[in-house]
Amino acid sequence: MRKPIIAGNWKMNKTPEEAAQLVRDLVPLVKDAKCDVVVCTPAVCFAAVKPIIEGTNVKLGAQNVHFKASGAYTGELSADMLKASGCEYVIIGHSERRQYFGETDKTVNLRATAAVKAGLKAIICVGEMQDERVDGYTDIIVTYQTQMALKGLTAEELDNVVIAYEPVWAIGTGLTATDEQANETIGVIRKAVAAKYGDEVAQKLRIQYGGSMKGSNVKGLMAQPEIDGGLIGGASLKAADFAQVVNF
């Protein structure tokens, strides 16, 4: 019912030349993928990557977007700028943006709204810190973050939204939630969507797992009924590694 989506978050890695080589290597490896495939590159790599993936099943994404159309926001990029650069997707509210750059639930909502209304597909990240999981607040945290992120969006606009559950304690640490933990929490996120939009909308929404998914654990995670793909960090930086996840 829900087509899986595997998106690579390159973070602050790869020069344009390196990016071009990576996608040249990647395209033939994932051409028969049964899921949607996205590479979210640094902005300086858009121009290098776009001509290589045109006409393929690999789509281009960005790692952030500002909520204003233009203005005095040094260093930021608008949704229209991303679209003009060939982006179809954009990651919003990644834990590193929250941790290092002051992203809040409110700004996540503003960015998501701007992206979707401009015609981009938003990959919205939610997830708990380690102490929040240990103290039993996971369900409360992800429910609140999800509902806040979607505030003001219509049921129809959720067709252009993907949620990525990324337990913050599993990002870049090598730790991974068990298949069952990931599935259970993604189920909680789906219930949070259902509470606002109804079960039919919630059952259509794709929800990824974003906590260190890689070739060695992708099959178990993707076998879970609630998990619709992955937001991939380190494993997306080598074509063979990313292809192993995509071709799960």
Long-range contacts of range 42-45, CB-CB < 8 Å, 24 or more positions apart? Answer: 42/10, 42/12, 42/13, 42/14, 43/77, 43/85, 44/15, 44/16, 45/10, 45/14, 45/15, 45/16, 45/19, 45/20
Q: Which of 66, 94, 103, 128 is catalytic?
A: 94
Count of other CB atoms within 10 angstroms of residue 76: 15
Q: Which of 54, 128, 166, 226 is catalytic?
A: 166
Phi, psi torsion values for 225, nearest 5 degrees: -70, -25
Please state, in angstroms and rounded to a whole number, the distance separating the CA atoms of residues 68 and 74: 12
Phi, psi torsion values for 121, nearest 5 degrees: -100, 125
Active site residue 166: yes
Tokens matching residue 44: 């300086």
Active site residue 66: no
Which residues carry out catalysis? 94, 166
